[in-house]
């Protein structure tokens, strides 16, 4: 291939990447108005989950605070709903450059990663967030009343959803390290005490400064780490 042909090939790839990214951006722009309409209902549903059976209200302290939260929620909804389409377009872009075994590996990895991330988010929404509110309410007394700011509660909720979604990738990371040959099963299994310490530190850094949320992040993450080891061992023996 001549230098000129290489330049033309690079330009054609860049043009294809540009078109792919533009299509992804267009999809986000098209769905955004619908996300803005749905955002208030989604925000109210999240607040109901947070409150649960507690007698508590969330307060806002500026005229535009809730409106800005709804916009943030709309952006999150927009990305979540358009994610399958965006993934499909990016997949179609890189697909021609992959071998069959690479296509199979990446496809299964993306599917498992998405499923684990969604599982982590749902676990956080329905189990962790109400637990954190209950923990905060437990400090109430005759002279101390809980007053929760809606921005703090929603921002914390969104942050924890991302954290749990990422931490739920642990079995996939463990399995990938072993399958790729970067580390073997015995090495990772022998490092369990270090893994425990590292996960405890990560849980302490990424969660609010209370022992309940830290334990609730550590326990499922470590359980998923062990699950990844078990799955990798079975795959190795087959």
Return the ∠ at Cα 98 (arms to 112 and 25), rounded to 5°: 70
Q: Is 85 exposed, middle or buried (0-12, 13-18, 19+ CB in 10 A)?
A: middle
Pair 212, 120 in one domain: no
31-77 residue pLDDT tens: 999 999 999 999 999 888 888 777 788 888 888 999 999 999 999 89
Pair 59, 161 in one domain: yes
Q: What is the pLDDT of residue 8?
A: 57
Pair 87, 116 in one domain: yes
Residue 137 lies in a domain: no
Backbone φ and ψ for 60, nearest 5 degrees, come out as: -120, 150
185-215 residue pLDDT tens: 788 878 888 888 888 888 888 777 777 778 8
70-126 residue pLDDT tens: 999 999 899 888 888 888 888 777 777 667 776 777 777 778 888 888 888 888 888
Residue 142 lies in a domain: no
């Amino acid at each position: 291939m001549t230098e000129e042909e290489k330049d033309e090939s690079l330009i054609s790839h860049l043009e294809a990447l540009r078109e792919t990214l533009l299509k992804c951006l267009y999809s986000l722009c098209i769905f955004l108005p619908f996300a803005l309409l749905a955002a208030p209902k989604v925000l109210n549903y999240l607040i109901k989950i947070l409150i649960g059976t507690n007698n508590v209200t969330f307060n806002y302290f500026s005229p535009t605070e809730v409106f800005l939260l709804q916009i943030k929620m709309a952006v999150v909804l927009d990305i979540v709903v358009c994610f399958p389409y965006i993934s499909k377009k990016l997949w179609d872009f890189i697909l021609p450059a992959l071998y069959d075994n690479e296509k199979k590996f990446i496809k299964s990895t993306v599917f498992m990663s998405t499923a684990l991330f969604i599982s982590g988010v749902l676990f956080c929404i329905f189990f962790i967030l109400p637990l954190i509110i209950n923990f905060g309410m437990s400090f109430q007394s005759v002279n101390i009343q809980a007053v929760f700011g809606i921005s703090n509660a929603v921002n914390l909720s969104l942050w924890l959803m991302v954290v749990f979604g990422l931490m739920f990738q642990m079995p996939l990371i463990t399995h990938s390290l072993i399958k790729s040959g970067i580390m073997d099963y015995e090495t990772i299994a022998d490092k369990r005490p270090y893994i425990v310490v590292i996960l405890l530190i990560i849980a302490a850094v990424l969660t609010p400064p209370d022992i309940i949320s830290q334990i609730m992040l550590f326990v499922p993450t470590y359980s998923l780490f062990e699950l990844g080891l078990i799955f990798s061992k079975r795959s190795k023996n087959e």
